[in-house]
Amino acid sequence: MCLIGWVIADCGYPRWIASNRDESWDRPTQPLHVWALPNGVRVCGGRDGVAGGSWLAVADNGRLAMLTNVRAWPPEPPRQRSRGDLVLAWLSGADADWAGWASRQAADAVNGCNVVLADVHRPEWVWLSNRPQRGDQVPLQRNGWHGRRLGPGVYTLSNAVLDTPWPKQQSLAAALHQALGIPHSQRAWSVLEQGLQQYEAGASIDEHIRRSAFVHLPQRRWGTRSRLMAHWQDDCGLTLCEQTYVPQQGVAVPDGPPRCLTIDWWGMPTSSYGSPSTCQPSRA
């Protein structure tokens, strides 16, 4: 179970991204780093240590992809392809647009999921799902994928359709709106960080998952493994910061300091580990 909130600026760049990745405590994972796809495109993001895909990453060609699972009960049997491959297929730049990508990615080859695909140079943002719910407004349809284009604004996504009014999504959306109204970026980082750390036990596992941004299910050895936030500033580029967590005696604790990287989408330079960038945008 994962949670992602983001703000698309008027120019098409991601002004803010705030996300938690929830996964089995035992699944190997590579933290935020830069690596190369087979065609040479450089990618910045975390990476699944089992199947090699990713759940949220950006590439030096101006592309961004985010992915969440769609909940199903009873659980679906594993399909032939990992959902994380969908992220890498978009970042590779092999397809000119979302329609080309969808034509080559069979929706029934993967388990239920949502994908958000962005190309900041076009600019183009779309949300797609292979498990749309009845009544959804999904004007985009191709090869089993259903979704819609996304314009400037605030969006949230978890394990159902886009902007499902789960309490944790509503809380994160409120935090994103608050961050947009704070001129000092460091204070805005703190607001979003607090939103992603929100924890509510809930009367049941299902209630906990819907209400708590930070998922913690020690009885299932499952929960939030990492928190990633990103901020675009016009004269600094996109700064990504990831905090990973490890279980210790049944409690999730930070696994060292956060990892931070800064990219500009014109060469993807990197910065050392540390706190988020404090540089200010060139215009309000």
HEC letters along 78-140: CCCCCCHHHHHHHHCCCCCCHHHHHHHCCHHHCCCEEEEEEECCCCEEEEEECCCCCCCCCCE
- Position 98 scores a pLDDT of 98
- Position 85 scores a pLDDT of 98
- Phi and psi torsions of 193, nearest 5°: -60, -45
Asked if 130 and 107 touch (Cβ cutoff 8 Å), the reply is: yes
- Position 264 scores a pLDDT of 85
> At 168, which helix (H) or strand (E)?
helix 167-180
Helices (H) and strands (E) in the chain, counts: 5, 16
- Position 273 scores a pLDDT of 47
Domains of the chain: residue spans and CATH: 2-164+221-263 (3.60.60.10)
- Phi and psi torsions of 123, nearest 5°: -90, 150
Contacts of 35 by beta carbon, 8 Å cutoff, 6+ apart: 42, 43, 47
Asked if 34 and 146 touch (Cβ cutoff 8 Å), the reply is: no
- Position 281 scores a pLDDT of 34
Cα–Cα distances in angstroms (integers) from residue 143 to residues 104, 138, 140, in the given order = 8, 13, 10
pTM: 0.93
How far apart are the C-alpha atoms of 116 and 98, rounded to whole Å?
10
Asked if 13 and 266 touch (Cβ cutoff 8 Å), the reply is: no
Q: List for the chain the helix, strand, coil content (%; round to 5).
A: 20, 35, 45
How far apart are the C-alpha atoms of 207 and 222, rounded to whole Å?
15
pLDDT digits (tens), the chain, 284 positions: 699 999 999 999 999 999 999 999 999 999 999 999 999 999 999 999 999 999 999 999 999 999 999 988 788 888 889 999 999 999 999 999 999 999 999 999 999 999 999 999 999 999 999 997 766 678 999 999 999 999 999 999 999 999 999 999 999 999 999 999 998 888 999 999 999 999 998 889 999 999 999 999 999 999 999 999 999 988 789 999 999 999 998 899 999 999 999 988 865 545 544 555 444 333 22
63-69 and 113-119 beta bridge pairing: antiparallel
- Position 274 scores a pLDDT of 52
